[in-house]
Structure 1
Amino acid sequence: MVGDEEHRVLGALTTDDRRLLSDLLRRVMLAAEHRRARPPTSTRRRPGPDPAEERLG
């Protein structure tokens, strides 16, 4: 569903601009789905000493 604001913004775009915007949004959605399908790298535990244990050392 598209609201009044969306109609106003999209109405100002040319056909080529709308096609480009659609393509860019599709790419963003695919990238977001790809990221959601795999765990983020920041939560993976890296091998090596635990920094908290080193401080207590």
Structure 2
Amino acid sequence: MAQGCGVRYGNVFHRHQTSKATELSEFCGAIGSLSLVVAGVLTAALLPVLTPFFSEGI
């Protein structure tokens, strides 16, 4: 099994392919789900902080 397959599926293909990763292996599906959750939490936490830096020119 290629290392990082769960992370790739979780971040790139999102929920649908994360379920497909579970068909490859339970571990791959778990890592895919975890990376999807971490990406969502980081987005929700960092977006309000970083928005003022990107919206100054608007």
| TM-score normalized with structure 2 length | 0.47
Higher relative contact order (CA 8 A, sep 6+): 2
Structure possessing the higher radius of gyration over alpha carbons: 1
More helix by share: 2
